[in-house]
Amino acid sequence: MARALHRAVLDWYQRAGRDLPWRHPGCSAWGIYLSEVMSQQTPVARVQPVWERWLERWPTPADLAADSPGEAVRMWDRLGYPRRALRLWESAGVMVERHGGDVPRDHEDLLALPGVGAYTAAAVASFAFGEPLPVVDTNVRRVLARAVSGEQHAAPALTVAESRLAAEWMPEDRDEANAWNAAVMELGALVCTARSPRCGECPVASLCAWQLAGRPEQEGPPRRGQAWHGTDRQVRGRIVQLLRESPDPVPRTAVELVWPDDEAKVERCLAGLLEDGLIEPVEGGYALPA
Ligand code: SF4
């Protein structure tokens, strides 16, 4: 079963995987590293143009480290969760100081970079350096839950059992294992999607435990998407956007207009952004960090 599943997914990926620039053989480890951080909470279609602009402006970690953190936040555009831009800038500095200006190859060194967790470290180790570590994101977890465990949904957060399952289902061959990491993730992104899996087009439909069981609905409360309107995240995003688009410091009165109905919310979001180092108080108001 494992062999058949591997073959079906790998063949499908060769035929149907998206042609993304960071998957090209010549892409640098730095390019792959950027793509992984940018893609974590943002759809690929939005990531690609920003990724291209970043690499054009900062083709190496040293180039980014030599620029200001505010420029990293500005160039982050609207990818969301802009703390990731600051962490990238910090990690570029670490690469210059400790790793000769390169993305480190060693998994432990990757994990020690600012903002890098288990997923990113494994993904960069696998995709940039061919280390066949299991790369487990929500797409992978969903495909394995359905195809292997016969369950409609993965657990709400990564469990030890899921990590173990992902490791067990890695192909033994090193090259296949690295391709599998990308392929199974892609299958989850394009075919075995969270809300409406396209089993009719799926290369593993004849092997999938959940499909073969008749796609049983999982019991338990329905999963709700995160509400967005009026969240602190939305207000923080508006403040950063305002500062990003302004060449001059933005006065407090203008910042308050991003959410005029709730002064306390704006206050809280400003305080959070200052604490995170995403904005700075300057003469005349606020600005991105210099
Ligand atoms: S058959 Fe359906 S549920 Fe199973 S892996 Fe394919 S898309 Fe997902």
pLDDT score of 41? 82
DSSP-derived secondary structure for the chain: -HHHHHHHHHHHHHHHS---GGGSTT--HHHHHHHHHHHSSS-HHHHHHHHHHHHHH-SSHHHHHTS-HHHHHHHTTT-S-THHHHHHHHHHHHHHHHSTTS---SHHHHHTSTT--HHHHHHHHHHHH--------HHHHHHHHHHTT--SS--SS--HHHHHHHHHTS-SSHHHHHHHHHHHHHHHHHTS-SS---GGG-TTTTT-HHHHTT-PPPPSSPPPPPP-TT-HHHHHHHHHHHHHH-SSPBPHHHHHTTSTT-HHHHHHHHHHHHHHTSSEEETTEEES--
In tens digits, the chain (290 residues) has pLDDT values of: 789 999 999 999 999 999 999 999 999 999 999 999 999 888 899 999 999 999 999 999 999 999 999 999 999 998 989 999 999 999 999 999 999 999 999 999 999 999 999 999 999 999 999 999 999 999 999 999 999 999 999 988 888 899 999 999 999 999 999 999 999 999 999 999 999 999 999 999 999 999 999 999 877 655 555 577 888 988 999 999 999 989 899 998 889 888 887 888 999 999 999 999 999 999 989 999 99
What is the whole-number distance in angstroms between the Cα of residue 68 and the centre of ligand 1?
45
Domains and CATH numbers, the chain: 17-129 (1.10.340.30), 232-287 (1.10.10)
Q: What is the mean pLDDT of the chain?
A: 93
For atom 1 of ligand 1, which residue has the closest CA?
205
What is the whole-number distance in angstroms between the Cα of residue 138 and the centre of ligand 1?
14
pLDDT score of 1? 78
pLDDT score of 223? 54
Pocket mutation for ligand 1, best pick of 138, 201, 210 (most atoms within 8 Å of C-beta):
210
Q: What pTM was computed for the model?
A: 0.84
- Residues in the ligand 1 pocket, defined by CB under 6 Å: 143, 146-147, 191-192, 197-199, 202, 204-205, 208, 210-211
